């Protein structure tokens, strides 16, 4: 029977009066902890996906939207840009630009976005192929690890895309040919895990008239007939060559009136000229250029205002719960005054009684803390599942941060502070007077 055991028994013998303190404490701690978790994981997710992109060029509109759409794939495109406008950035041996990667967006499959791009995108994120190969022909896709896992897609599987970025069966492109999975990427922890990658040209084929397609189709027919293939062979070749016998041309050689959604640009070096490029684009062209790091910082500072409010609320809750611990300990002293004097009469020192009450405060705060942490991580896990369904980003409730250790220290500190006045009061109780009153 030591002080810790005794204070524990004291608490569990009065569960109701301690409940309010614990619940309040848990709420405050839980709120702060979940804010930490969200903030940390958001930053983690955002930073991981910066991928050394210096500039995103797209249609005029909100720069944040352009970044969110092109880099994080969580917003709609600002519009499309013509190849002839994008072309200057894509020419080989550009003095400032190391890489300019075209993106075409607007279609999805079961909520996962289909992006028409070049294989340069893979090197941007250091992504590797797990099985299969990189897309080469139109309608060939290389899919992210999460897409493969969640949709249970394998090499050789085929699917129809739908127009729009949400899972909308109503707008299925069931009149065009199916996408075919030719490769699956290794998990990279980046947004690539959530994407279905194909050629930019595929988008034109889906969305434009199929005349061209038909022509080619017919052409194939005569060619093969001429070669005198038998019927089975012909059928086989037909499906094989449906989307053109050769890999699509470089975008530089395509019809310059065709459109893409945006360009991800990485500079050769950050110098005065490259920094000026953004302003030049924004002021002198119909295009818009946005810097990911700046926009993300802006987003975080926007969120920070909300977080600040919630954090303040959490601190107020914790303060109130500290007050509640103080009040419940203080009022319990009135009931336990005789009990404490009795312990003194049996040899307990004032320091012992002081310790007992402080421990009660500490235990209450610890219980509150652990329930709070449980709440926040459980809540975070729930939230993670929701975010995953809505945005395809992976969050987890089972990540623990060092901030939470500081939170524990803070919680224990509040427990001590709340208990200190009752503890002093208890240790100063006049034994004789209390016992005489009986």
Partner 1 sequence: MLIARDLTFSYTGEKRLKFPDIECKTGEQWLLIGQSGSGKTTLLHLLAGLRTPKSGSIKINDTVISQLPSSALDNFRGKNIGIIFQQAHFVQSLNVEENLALAQRLAGMKIDRTRIRTMLEHLNVGHKLKSNPNQLSAGEQQRVAIARALVNNPAIVLADEPTSALDDQNTEQVIKLLKEQAALTNATLLIVTHDNRLKSIIEKQIEL
* Cα distance between residue 131 and residue 150, in whole Å: 16
Q: Which stretch binds partner 1 (CB under 8 A): 190-198, 255-263, 269-277, 333-341?
A: 333-341
Query: Quick one: 73 or 336, whose CB is closer to partner 1?
Result: 336
**Given candidates 149, 270, 349, 428, which one binds partner 1 under the rule CB under 8 A?**
349
CB of residue 12 vs partner 1: minimum separation in angstroms?
7
Contact map string, positions 405 to 434, toward partner 1, x by CB under 8 A: --------------------------xx--
Query: Quick one: 61 or 350, whose CB is closer to partner 1?
Result: 350
**Given candidates 38, 145, 348, 373, which one binds partner 1 under the rule CB under 8 A?**
348
Task: Confirm or reject binding of residue 16 to partner 1 (CB under 8 A).
Answer: no
Task: Confirm or reject binding of residue 166 to partner 1 (CB under 8 A).
Answer: no
Q: Which stretch binds partner 1 (CB under 8 A): 20-28, 259-267, 339-347, 362-370?
A: 339-347
**Given candidates 16, 170, 246, 436, which one binds partner 1 under the rule CB under 8 A?**
436
- φ, ψ for residue 40 (rounded to 5)? -60, -45
Query: Quick one: 38 or 343, whose CB is closer to partner 1?
Result: 343
Query: Quick one: 280 or 432, whose CB is closer to partner 1?
Result: 432
**Given candidates 2, 158, 250, 276, which one binds partner 1 under the rule CB under 8 A?**
2
**Given candidates 6, 23, 408, 420, which one binds partner 1 under the rule CB under 8 A?**
6
Q: Which stretch binds partner 1 (CB under 8 A): 100-108, 118-126, 282-290, 338-346?
A: 338-346
Mapped to the 3 state alphabet, what secondary structure does the chain carry? CCHHHHHHHHHHHCHHHHHHHHHHHHHHHHHHHHHHHHHHHHHHHHHHCCCCCCEEEEECCCHHHHHHHHHHCCCCCCCCEEHHHHHHHHCCCCCCEEEEEEEEEEEEECCEEEEECCCHHHHHCCCCEEEECCCCCCCEEEECHHHHHHHCCCCCCEECCEECCCCCHHHECCCCCCEEEEEEECCCCCHHHHCEEECHHHHHHHHCCCHHHHHHHHHHHHHHHHHCCCHHHHHHHHHHCCCCCCCCCCHHHCCCCCEECEEEEEECCCCHHHHHHHHHHHHHCCEEEECHHHHHHHHHHHHHHHHHHHHHHHHHHHHHHHHHHHHHHHHHHHHHHHHHHHHHHCCCCHHHHHHHHHHHHHHHHHHHHHHHHHHHHHHHHHHHHHHHHHHCCCCCCCCCCHHHHHHHHHHHHHHHHHHHHHHHHHHCCCHHHHHHHC
CB of residue 8 vs partner 1: minimum separation in angstroms?
9
Q: Pairing mode, if any, of strands 287-290 and 129-132? A: unpaired
Task: Confirm or reject binding of residue 4 to partner 1 (CB under 8 A).
Answer: no
Q: Which stretch binds partner 1 (CB under 8 A): 156-164, 288-296, 348-356, 361-369?
A: 348-356
Tell the burial category of 401 from Cβ atoms under 10 Å away from its Cβ (0-12, 13-18, 19+). Answer: middle
**Given candidates 174, 233, 304, 339, which one binds partner 1 under the rule CB under 8 A?**
339
* Cα distance between residue 135 and residue 129, in whole Å: 11
Q: Which stretch binds partner 1 (CB under 8 A): 92-100, 124-132, 312-320, 347-355?
A: 347-355
**Given candidates 147, 192, 318, 343, which one binds partner 1 under the rule CB under 8 A?**
343
Q: Name which of residues 303 to 322 contact partner 1 (CB under 8 A).
A: none
CB of residue 363 vs partner 1: minimum separation in angstroms?
13
Q: How many residues bind partner 1, per CB under 8 A?
A: 25
Task: Confirm or reject binding of residue 347 to partner 1 (CB under 8 A).
Answer: yes
Query: Quick one: 424 or 435, whose CB is closer to partner 1?
Result: 435
Q: Which stretch binds partner 1 (CB under 8 A): 4-12, 26-34, 110-118, 275-283?
A: 4-12
Residue pair 117/97 in contact by the 8 Å Cβ criterion = no
CB of residue 365 vs partner 1: minimum separation in angstroms?
19
Task: Pick the closest to residue 237 from 248, 247, 224 (CA basis).
Answer: 224
Residue pair 328/17 in contact by the 8 Å Cβ criterion = yes
**Given candidates 96, 299, 333, 435, which one binds partner 1 under the rule CB under 8 A?**
435
Task: Confirm or reject binding of residue 327 to partner 1 (CB under 8 A).
Answer: no
Note the residues at the interface with partner 1 (CB under 8 A): 1-2, 6, 9-10, 12-14, 336, 338-339, 342-349, 352, 431-432, 435-436, 438
């Amino acid at each position: 029977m030591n002080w810790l055991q005794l204070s524990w028994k004291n608490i569990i013998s009065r569960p109701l009066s301690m409940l309010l303190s614990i619940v309040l404490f848990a709420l405050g701690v839980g709120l702060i902890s979940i804010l930490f978790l969200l903030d940390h994981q958001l930053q983690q997710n955002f930073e991981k996906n910066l991928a050394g992109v210096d500039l995103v060029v797209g249609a005029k509109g909100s720069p944040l939207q352009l970044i969110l759409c092109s880099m994080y794939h969580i917003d709609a495109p600002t519009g499309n840009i013509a190849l002839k406008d994008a072309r200057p950035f894509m020419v080989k041996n550009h003095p400032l630009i190391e890489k300019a990667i075209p993106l075409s967006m607007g279609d999805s499959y079961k909520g996962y976005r289909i992006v028409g791009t070049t294989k340069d995108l893979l090197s941007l994120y250091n992504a590797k192929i797990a099985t299969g190969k990189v897309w080469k022909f139109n309608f060939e896709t290389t899919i992210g690890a999460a897409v493969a896992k969640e949709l249970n897609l394998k090499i050789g599987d085929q699917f129809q895309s739908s127009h729009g970025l949400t899972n909308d069966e109503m707008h299925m492109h069931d009149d065009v040919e199916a996408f075919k999975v030719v490769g699956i990427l290794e998990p990279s922890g980046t947004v690539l895990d959530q994407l279905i990658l194909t050629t930019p040209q595929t988008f034109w084929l889906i969305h434009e008239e199929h005349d061209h397609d038909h022509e080619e189709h017919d052409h194939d027919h005569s060619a093969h007939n001429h070669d005198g293939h038998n019927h089975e062979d012909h059928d086989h070749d037909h499906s094989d060559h449906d989307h053109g016998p050769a890999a699509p041309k470089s975008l530089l050689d395509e019809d310059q009136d065709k459109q893409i959604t945006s360009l991800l640009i990485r500079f050769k070096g950050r110098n005065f000229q490259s920094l000026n490029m953004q302003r030049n684009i924004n002021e002198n062209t119909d295009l818009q250029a946005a810097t990911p790091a700046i926009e993300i910082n802006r987003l975080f500072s926007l969120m920070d205002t909300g977080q600040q409010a919630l954090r303040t609320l959490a601190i107020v809750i914790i303060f109130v719960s500290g007050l509640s611990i103080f009040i419940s300990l203080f009022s319990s002293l009135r009931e336990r005054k005789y009990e404490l004097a009795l312990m003194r009469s049996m040899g307990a020192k004032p320091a012992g009684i002081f310790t007992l009450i402080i421990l009660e405060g500490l235990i209450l705060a610890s219980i509150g803390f652990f329930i709070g942490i449980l709440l926040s991580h459980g809540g975070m896990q729930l939230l993670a599942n929701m975010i995953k369904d809505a945005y395809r980003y992976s969050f987890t409730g089972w990540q623990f941060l060092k901030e939470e250790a500081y939170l524990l220290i803070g919680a224990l500190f509040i427990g001590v502070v709340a208990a200190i006045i009752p503890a002093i009061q208890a240790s100063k109780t006049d034994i004789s007077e209390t016992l005489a009153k009986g």
